[in-house]
Chains A and B, each alone.
Chain A
């Protein structure tokens, strides 16, 4: 069975602080994809990144970066110099070779204040 754990329910930071959102996954499949989605107050899930299980290179996109470590089954997401517009719920998700459905974590609510 697939499982995604986001242990941080809610994080509050002051603008310009760096923040890391943790994601730990479980799967017996050797081929799988990991995703991060952002859900702002408007409610629509916004795709941020997809990473396959064979590519452990870290990725950076502007202020966002992702650290994928198979050894610890983690796919953590860091926002550098956070901004108020980053306030949202962030979901980590897993999609494996035996299914076409996304298995989501419970989400981490990020609150960035001035």
Chain B
């Protein structure tokens, strides 16, 4: 079946511009996660959704970062006024439910480069 998809696969933007990253989870998965992978910080958690609500936003690096999920499916991660330190690969994952028993399946990521 179809896995997690993310778009765009690559995004180059100028410092100060806003960007939107999209994630399509596996059909039927109620839980959705965003992670960031960068050279300096490794793989770090950003935010997760259970349905359309985000109980844990603790990983968002600053108020320039926001995310939403609509219809219990597609999610968008928005970065406003991008900075060079935002350059990273942004990974989305989904799982059947929230909780330890459910493995998270990852998408191919969006590579963001801020120039």
Chain A contact residues, CB within 8 Å of chain B: 31-33, 35, 37, 42-47, 50, 52, 91, 95-97, 99-107
Contacts and interface: CB of A to CB of B under 8 A. Distances in A.
B42 A104 contact: yes
A33 B101 CA distance: 8
Interface size class of B (residues with CB under 8 A): 20 to 34
Contacts, number: 55
A44 B100 contact: no
A44 B4 CA distance: 10
Nearest to A101: B45
A32 B33 CA distance: 18
Q: Which of B56, B103, B105, B109 has the most CB of A within 10 A?
A: B103
Most buried by A among B33, B35, B104, B108: B104
Interface of B: 31, 33, 35, 42-45, 48, 56, 59, 89, 91, 93, 98-101, 103-109
A101 B42 contact: no
Contacts of B31: 100
Nearest to B104: A102
